[in-house]
């Protein structure tokens, strides 16, 4: 018999085991997930989050989460994540979890829900379509095997223009002090992220929320490369994050440049420095994700040797017309 119930904090490890079994390429640790949920609870926007667990004979076999993202927030926009263990699919468990989440968002007056699945998941996307969802964007994982990366071919692209130098975030903390370094990093990241393709406009992140990255388990200050002017202004960045489950893998976060400094090769130069550093430290793979409409970045990653994986297809139900930036 299948039962579906609201999940409790004691269920988090079981739900995470299901998620990691379904999405092994994006596996998360319990520490990372607890940090993420604490960030939602403490955020001044008070984003909603609700989890459910599906059990068969008392065994956890499926999980669903309906939540709101503070970084692209609207009070009527929600995100749905749903996972069922492969051996328990086609028994109506996914549909039951979806129906439970759907009744919940209807009760809250949701006007928009974003959900998705890999293009290779033959059942999930048609199910979303039947429920009134439509495709709005695709995101490609891109994977670079560093054993085939030849840094010597990119020496010219690693040079920065006069008046700008490369430094890691760890270097900047040593030079400026921790608080000033975080402020400089924040100023660049805040502007650069505005133009990242996404399914809804970016929400402003206050500095007080941004510096909570200090306790982010994936943060390695030595893996964040910055372009710094003679006046200690950060004008470009390329972030590499520790992978939760694979010590031989790094994941690119944001690579971006402040608007006044674009088209000078800063982002590429920093990205290359991170790749060289990773190769020297024995990292096997670097992963990144790019939206289907970000043609310049997809083309650049193709040049660098990244290989595209099957796309994650993001689908939307409804629409919060008065979206707030």
Instruction: Mark whether 27 and 165 lie in a shared domain.
Output: no
**Which of 94, 110, 126 corresponds to the end of one domain?**
110
The whole-angstrom distance between residue 251's C-alpha and the CA centroid of its chain comes to: 9
Co-location of 150 and 48 in the same domain: no
DSSP 232: -
* Per-residue pLDDT at 20 exceeds 90: yes
Beta strands in the chain (DSSP E): 2-6, 49-56, 59-67, 77-84, 112-118, 134-145, 164-168, 224-229, 234-242, 249-257, 285-291, 307-308, 312-318
Output the pLDDT for position 101.
98
Banded pLDDT at 161 (limits 50, 70, 90): very high
- Look at residue 15 and tell me whether its pLDDT is greater than 80: yes
pLDDT of residue 122: 76
Q: At what angle do helices 178-192 and 169-176 cross, to 10 degrees?
A: 130
One domain, residues 282 and 214: yes
Question: What is the pLDDT, as a whole number, of residue 215?
Answer: 87
Statement to judge: residues 183 and 304 lie in one domain: yes
pLDDT in the model for residue 129 = 93
The predicted structure's pLDDT at residue 321:
66
Specify whether 84 is located in the same domain as 151: no
Q: How do residues 115-128 score in pLDDT, each as one tens digit?
A: 999 998 878 899 99
Q: Are residues 103 and 148 in the same domain?
A: no
d(CA 79, CA 65): 8
Closest CA to 102 of 113, 93, 91: 113
For the segment 94-122, what is each residue's pLDDT rounded down to a tens digit?
Answer: 999 999 999 999 999 999 999 999 998 87
Note whether residue 72 is domain-resident: yes
**Structure confidence at residue 197 as a pLDDT band (50, 70, 90):** confident
Tell me whether residue 324 is in a domain: no
**Domain range holding 215?**
142-310
CATH number at 26 reads 3.40.630.30
* pLDDT tens digits, one per residue of 22-55: 999 999 999 999 999 999 999 999 999 999 999 9
Total domain count for the chain?
A: 2
User: What pLDDT shows up at residue 297?
Assistant: 86
Structural domain contains residue 319? no
Closest CA to 72 of 203, 254, 220: 203
Whether 226 shows a pLDDT value over 50: the answer reads yes
What pLDDT sits at residue 146? Answer: 96
Q: Are residues 12 and 86 in the same domain?
A: yes
pLDDT in tens, 230-285: 999 999 999 999 998 899 999 999 999 999 999 999 999 999 999 999 999 999 99
Tell me, yes or no, whether 188 and 261 share the same domain.
Answer: yes
Is 118 contained in some domain?
no
pLDDT, tens only, 62-72 = 999 999 999 99
Are 285 and 226 in the same domain?
yes
Q: Please tell me whether residues 187 and 305 are part of one structural domain.
A: yes
Residue 83 lies in a domain: yes
Q: Decide if 237 is inside a domain.
A: yes
Same domain flag for 146 and 82: no
Last residue of a domain, one of 68, 89, 110: 110
- Domain ends where: 110, 127, 156? 110
In the numeric block, the tokens 């690693």 are attached to 158
pLDDT at site 325: 38
A 10 A CB-CB count for 7 gives 19
Whether 219 is covered by a domain: the verdict is yes
- C-alpha span between 295 and 145 (Å, rounded): 21
Residue 131 lies in a domain: no
The pLDDT assigned to 324 comes to 42
Which residues, other chains included, contact 303 with Cβ-Cβ below 8 Å and sequence gap of 6+? Answer: none
At 49, list the tokens. Answer: 């989050």
- Do 159 and 305 belong to one domain? yes
Evaluate if residue 180 carries a pLDDT over 60: yes
- Asked if residue 132 has pLDDT above 70, the reply is yes
List Cα–Cα distances, 120 to 62, 95, 117, 289, 308, in angstroms.
19, 18, 8, 17, 14
* Residue pair 212/70 in contact by the 8 Å Cβ criterion: no
């Amino acid at each position: 018999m299948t039962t579906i119930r609201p999940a409790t904090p004691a269920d988090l490890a079981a739900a995470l085991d299901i998620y990691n079994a379904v999405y092994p390429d994006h596996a998360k640790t319990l520490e990372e997930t607890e940090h993420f949920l604490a960030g939602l609870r403490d955020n001044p926007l008070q984003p909603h989050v609700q989890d459910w667990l599906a059990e068969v004979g008392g065994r956890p076999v499926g999980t669903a989460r309906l939540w709101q993202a503070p970084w692209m927030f609207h009070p009527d926009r929600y995100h749905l994540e749903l996972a069922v263990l492969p051996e328990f699919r086609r028994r109506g468990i996914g549909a039951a979890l979806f129906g439970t989440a759907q009744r919940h968002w209807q009760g809250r007056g949701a006007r928009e829900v974003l959900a998705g699945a890999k293009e290779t998941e033959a059942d999930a996307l048609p199910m979303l379509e039947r429920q009134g969802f439509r495709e709005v964007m695709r995101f490609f994982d891109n994977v670079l095997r560093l054993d085939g990366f030849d840094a010597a071919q990119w020496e010219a692209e690693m040079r920065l223009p006069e008046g700008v130098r490369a430094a890691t975030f760890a270097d900047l903390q040593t030079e400026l002090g921790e608080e000033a370094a975080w402020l400089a990093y924040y100023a660049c990241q805040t502007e650069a992220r505005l133009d990242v393709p996404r399914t809804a406009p970016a929400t402003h992140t206050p500095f007080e929320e941004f510096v909570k990255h200090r306790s982010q388990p994936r943060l390695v200050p030595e893996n964040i490369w910055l372009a710094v002017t003679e006046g200690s202004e950060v004008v470009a960045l390329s972030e590499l994050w520790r992978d939760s489950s694979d010590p031989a893998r790094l994941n690119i976060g944001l690579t971006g440049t402040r608007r006044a400094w674009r088209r000078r090769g800063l982002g590429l130069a920093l990205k290359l420095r991170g790749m060289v550093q990773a190769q020297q430290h024995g990292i096997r793979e670097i992963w990144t994700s790019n939206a289907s409409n970000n043609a310049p970045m997809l083309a650049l990653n193709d040049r660098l040797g990244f290989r595209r994986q099957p796309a994650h297809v993001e689908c939307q139900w409804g629409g919060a017309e008065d979206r707030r930036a």
